[in-house]
Amino acid sequence: MNWIALVIAGIFEIGWPLGLKLSQQPESNKWTWILFSVACMTVSGGFLWYAQKSIPIGTAYAVWTGIGAVGTLLVGVLFFQDSANIFRLLSALLIVVGIVGLKIF
């Protein structure tokens, strides 16, 4: 259950930079997206807190930030035309390999 909570925390970790990005769009309601970001931060932190009850802090933090980093990179590539060059994607793959390694070992 704690690993599920950690994945949920990582998914909400993607939400706050997304909300900040959307708050900068000219046609958006800036404060709605900023509040969305704050809500995502709060939920993400709460699930991380719960997950750390049985997952070592270093592992939990690395997985949490890794999901957030790779997920945000993918959101940027898919929805905001961020660069998807081979070096960026290989770098993201290295993050995923590191996360899997922390879970296995």
Cα torsion angle, 40, 41, 47, 51, sign: positive
Q: pLDDT for 30-76, tens place per residue? A: 999 999 999 999 999 999 999 999 999 999 999 999 999 999 999 99
The whole-angstrom separation of Cα 65 and Cα 100 is 13
pLDDT at 91 over 90: yes
Count of Cβ atoms closer than 10 Å to residue 33 Cβ: 19
User: Which of these, 54, 60, 58, 87, lies nearest to 73 by C-alpha position?
Assistant: 87
Q: For residue 93, give the amino acid letter.
A: L
Task: Give domain limits for the chain.
Answer: 2-104
DSSP 57-89: HHHHHHHHHHHHHHHHHHHHHHHS-----HHHH
For the whole prediction, is pTM greater than 0.85? yes
